[in-house]
Amino acid sequence: MDSDAVYRQIRNLIQHWGTNDPLRLAADMGIMLYDCPDFSQLLGMYTCRWRHRIVLMNPNVHENLYRMVLAHEIGHDQLHRHLAGGEGLREFRLFHLSSQTEYEANVWAAHLLIDDGELTELIRNGYDAASAASMLGVDVNLLLIKVQQMQKLGMQLRLPYAPDSTFFRKIRES
């Protein structure tokens, strides 16, 4: 994955559509969004059929998790549309770091939802990862993915923690 290319793609998308809100982006980009209350284990699913781009979402999660899952699914739309036919791309555990496509969608979601300037300011003001994530309304692991990517892009940010790839399962169990 070319971190710089993904970062530029998201910056251009936000500038073009005038928002980083995944709900507005999905609507503006022509991605059909359907809530599926019968999803019990599934968080979200992206599929592309008959030229229709579709995201199915579990509405039984809190608002911030819904936004993170939707941002992740839009990442699949932008990066992996060619893989989304047939059964689609299903999310049981978001931010699963052992799959390349999942990791790329996580990076995409992190760049979309977390503003560089806001994150940098929080870190410079001494906020730790958990506090900064809380202030930004994202899970700490999404924030850590963002920090790792910013470091790859040459930005000088330092946080001592590595992301936990099973954090969504832990959120659902609590």
Structure tokens at 27: 């609507």
Q: Tell me what pLDDT residue 92 has.
A: 43
Q: Of 22 and 86, which is predicted with more confidence?
A: 22
Q: Kindly write down the DSSP assignment for every residue of 30-43, as one continuous string.
A: T-EEEE-TT-SS--
Identify the band that residue 37 occupies on the pLDDT scale cut at 50, 70 and 90.
confident
Structure tokens at 43: 């968080």
List the domain boundaries for the chain. Answer: 3-173
pLDDT at 163 exceeding the cut of 60? no
In terms of phi and psi (left: phi > 0; alpha: psi -120 to 50; beta: otherwise), the region of 86 is: left
CB of 48 within 8 A of CB of 34? no
33-37, 87-91, 122-126: lowest mean pLDDT where?
A: 87-91
Altogether, the residues listed in the chain come to a count of: 174
Question: How far is residue 118's CA from residue 67's CA, in Å, rounded to a whole number?
Answer: 18
Task: Quick: pLDDT tens for 127-136.
Answer: 888 889 999 9
Q: Tell me what pLDDT residue 168 has.
A: 56
SS3 57: strand
Kindly tell me the sign of the dihedral angle through the C-alpha atoms of 95, 61, 131, 137: positive
Question: How far is residue 130's CA from residue 139's CA, in Å, rounded to a whole number?
Answer: 8
